[in-house]
Chain A
Amino acid sequence: MITQVKKQNLYEELFQKSFSQSTQPAWLKDLRLKAFEYFSQNGFPTPEDEEWKYTNTAPITREQFSLSVEKKPSTQLENLIYKETQRSYLVFFNGQFIRELSNLEAASNIEIFSFSEALKTNNEILEEKLTKQVQYQRNGFTALNTAFIENGLFLHIPENQKVSVPIQILFVSTENVIATPRILILVAKGAEATLIESYLRSEQARYFTNAVIEISLEDRATLKHHRIQRESHNAFHITTTDVEIGEESIYDSTNITLGAKWSRHEISAKFTKEKAEVFVDGLYLTSGEQFADTHSVIDHLHPNCKSRQNYKGIVDGKSRVVFNGKIFVREGAKGTDAHQSNKNLLLSSNARIDTKPQLEIFNDDVQCSHGATVGQLEEEEIFYLMSRGLPASLAKNLLTYGFAEEIINKIELESVKATLDEALLNRLSVRL
């Protein structure tokens, strides 16, 4: 207990430092203060909490982090920008949105505001979203993120705008830093966009990313959202993604987890009206002593909505993986069509997977299914490839590659797909 109090004192110091410099409006200061109080009292969640049963937060509790003093990265970011987004990227450095490092030349029909700007122009939207969508009381991580809200990003795709170029949001952090990026995304009526949320870090820095991303799709809007988590292998990472989906809208996300020593992705998608569609797919590839957790909730509150969830995992070494996928079909949500699948390849006897698909249906008029598997490669498949001259190890690696490709192939952006293929092949020592 003594240790824990000490750590919270450490965040206390950081909080006071950040808070004392704030010139934010009273509602936001008040929100931050309450959030920090919540964190001080509750700390990070513990395994006694059902949602954290298999997720040990102790590794983070033990670590000390600091706030960033640098305003600009010392290294070049060019290598981290995808070919398709050379003129449409936004940069977060150590958790803060830095407009000077960003480039939106090719996406002039979208609006971006740093929080300090948005508090002047869109104060009501910010207050509404930051206080109500992802509430700080959700857990110690969202509380800590809220307590440290400084320069977040408000991204607005205006009505009926079809954004033809993909937009990359790049997150980079430096050694020892706690980064708490906060992003609001509003896709207005009839608008369409593609977003790549990329946490990239090639070096072995130790830092902590604690991101919260709130997304709202109004009616007949479409957002394709690719999330690429390739943090350093000494990093700690948690992202809370919350999505609200309006009538006849489509939210299609692909979540790739390759990096971080300890990571968790919480994603909630909630239908706020009828006839919308949600795809929440993902791939996690873990090895060594990595820990990777996915917690998802898809909430069917309204009739005639469709959700698909396809998560695949390749789990090697001594790594540990948690998958928890909940689908709720509420009483009024007639005509719901919801399917969930979680398939895992366990490549090592020292690795471990805890998977729990959950379907809760309060309504008869539905089509739902869910399933999870944990297994090894099929002997027949291995033999087929060997019978064509591939040595056993290459046959197994190629099958594993193919297993992952179903998810990676969803990403239509060539250079994003190519870098993921490369990472996957490197990990599997396959040459194609």
Chain B
Amino acid sequence: MLLEIKNLQAGIEGIKILKGLNLKVEKGEVHAIMGPNGSGKSTLAKVIAGHPGYEVFEGEILYEGKNLLEMEPDERAREGIFMAFQYPIEIPGVSNSQFLRIAYNEKMKHLGLEELDPIEFNDLLKEKAKLVEMGSDFLKRSVNEGFSGGEKKRNEILQMAVLEPKLAILDETDSGLDIDALRIVANGVNSLRSKENAIILVTHYQRLLNYIEPDYVHVLADGRIVKSGNKELALKLEEKGYDWIKEAA
């Protein structure tokens, strides 16, 4: 089992947002977490990534059998967890390629593998950048600074491509994307999908799932998963809205 979440109760500033969430994710699977605004989708993503602003009141998260909640965010990342941010942060003064090389080498160091020098790394980076159709000018620019919404999301997927996580959580990666950017981002994610990793797609809309096909769809309402199914469930949500689920729950 790659990830096992048991009775997770968590929130922010003392307010409980997740109220007993259970989820199991195996390698090779793609799970979509859908739900109305305020249902706790982003909270789930941030708790898995280890955002210091979020508090866990009860429950546990096991990642490869280990207690994830005891690990610092950077440790989680080096162990293979990656969250694509809904609102990626701008880091003025640090170039994309510098940043990615530092992150890559931190991971290599952790795994006891050889670190890459700037020349070696740039070869790797150029290959990865092709996945999200990013030119070399993007790699020289400061991380996310002055990037459009779509460029920021593509940059998140580039980071994912470089860090090759075992578990990637994409937090509303589709929000604010036009159709071309959505296609690029989805193609990038699809090409990174493998038997060795798992992806959790957190999204409000079914649209993304036309491009990245999930194995499972879960509906989150009021801090719990109230319904799980296959991709047909997403289509039904698209058609009927979330009220239908809420009533059923």
Give residues in A with beta carbon < 8 Å to B: 379-381, 383-392, 394-395, 398-399, 401-406, 409, 432
User: For chain A, what secondary structure do more than half of its interface residues adopt (helix, strand, loop), or is it mixed?
Assistant: helix
B52 pairs with A383, CB closer than 8 A = yes
Contact of B91 among A383, A385, A404, A409 (CB under 8 A): A385
Let me know if A379 and B52 touch, CB within 8 A.
yes
Nearest-neighbor residue (CB-CB) of B73 within chain A: A386
Looking at the complex, which one of A386, A390, A394, A406 makes contact with B93 (CB distance below 8 Å)?
A406
Q: How far is the CB of B30 from chain A (nearest CB, A)?
A: 21
Any A CB within 8 A of the CB of B43: no
Quick check: A409 and B93 within 8 Å, CB to CB?
yes
Are the C-beta atoms of B103 and A401 separated by less than 8 Å?
no
Q: Which residues of B contact A390 (CB under 8 A)?
A: 74, 102-103, 106
Produce 1/0 per residue, B187-219, CB < 8 A to A.
Answer: 000000000000000000000000000000000
What are 16 pairs between A and B in contact, CB < 8 Å? A381-B89, A381-B91, A383-B51, A386-B77, A387-B74, A387-B77, A388-B103, A390-B74, A390-B103, A391-B72, A394-B106, A398-B94, A403-B93, A404-B93, A405-B92, A406-B93
B83 beta carbon closer than 8 Å to chain A: yes
Residue among A388, A391, A403 making CB contact with B159, cutoff 8 Å: A388
Residues of B within 8 A of A381 (CB): 89, 91
Measured between C-beta atoms, what is the minimum distance from B179 to chain A in Å?
A: 27
Taking CB atoms, residues of chain A closer than 8 Å to B236 are none
For residues 131 through 154 of chain B, which have their beta carbon under 8 Å from a beta carbon of chain A? Answer: 142
B53 contacts across to A, CB distance below 8 A: 379
- A387 contact from B49, B92, B102, B110, Cβ within 8 A: B49
Question: Cβ of A432: which chain B residues have Cβ within 8 Å of it?
Answer: 98, 102
A402-B91 in contact (CB<8A):
yes
**B78 part of interface (Cβ distance < 8 Å):** yes
The answer to whether A387 and B142 have CB atoms under 8 Å apart is no
In the bound assembly, the distance between CA atoms of A387 and B159 in angstroms comes to 11
B242 located at the interface, meaning its Cβ lies under 8 Å from any Cβ of chain A in the complex: no
Number of residues from B at the complex interface, CB < 8 A: 30
- B101: nearest chain-A partner, CB-CB: A432
Q: Nearest residue in A to B89 (C-beta to C-beta)?
A: A384
Kindly name the residue among A381, A388, A391 whose own CB sees the greatest number of chain B CB atoms within 10 A: A388
- Residues of chain B lying within 8 A (CB to CB) of residue A395: 74
Q: Find the A residue at minimum CB distance from B100.
A: A388
Residues in B with CB closer than 8 Å to A398 are 91, 94, 99, 102
Give every chain A residue within 8 A of B92 (Cβ-Cβ): 402-403, 405-406
Q: Other than A384-B85, A385-B91, A388-B163, give 16 A-B pairs with Cβ distance below 8 A.
A: A379-B53, A384-B89, A387-B73, A387-B74, A388-B103, A390-B74, A390-B106, A391-B106, A392-B72, A399-B91, A401-B93, A402-B92, A402-B94, A403-B92, A405-B92, A432-B102
Q: How far is the CB of B127 from chain A (nearest CB, A)?
A: 19
Interchain CB contact under 8 A, A392 and B74: yes
B107 in contact (CB, < 8 A): yes
Residues of B within 8 A of A392 (CB): 72, 74
Residue in A380, A401, A403, A409 whose beta carbon sits within 8 Å of that of B89 in the complex = A380
Distance in Å from the Cβ of B62 to the closest Cβ of chain A? Answer: 20
List, in ascending order, chain B residues with CB within 8 A of A387's CB. 49-50, 73-74, 76-77, 82-83, 85
Query: Does B88 count as interface, using CB distance less than 8 angstroms?
Result: yes
Please name the residue on chain B nearest to A398 by beta carbon. Answer: B94
- Compute how far the CA of A404 lies from the CA of B92 in the bound complex, rounded to whole angstroms: 9
B93 proximity list for chain A (CB < 8 A): 401-406, 409
Cα–Cα distance between A392 and B71 once the two chains are bound (Å)? 13
B-chain residues with CB within 8 Å of residue A404 when the two chains form the complex = 93
Q: Which of A379, A386, A406, A409 contacts B72 (CB 8 A)?
A: A386
- B94–A391 touching, CB < 8 Å: no
Given known A-B contacts A402-B93, A406-B92, A389 and B103 have beta carbons under 8 A apart? yes
CA distance A394 to B107 in the complex (A): 13
Cα-based distance from A387 to B74 in the complex (angstroms): 5
Q: How many Å lie between the Cα of A367 and that of B77 in the bound state?
A: 47
B83: chain A residues within 8 A (beta carbon)? 387
Q: Cα distance A402–B141 when bound, in Å?
A: 12
Task: Name B60-80 residues within 8 Å CB distance of A.
Answer: 72-74, 76-78
Q: In whole angstroms, what is the CA distance A385 to B53 when docked?
A: 15
Interface-central residue, B50, B52, B82, B107, by most chain A CB under 10 Å: B52
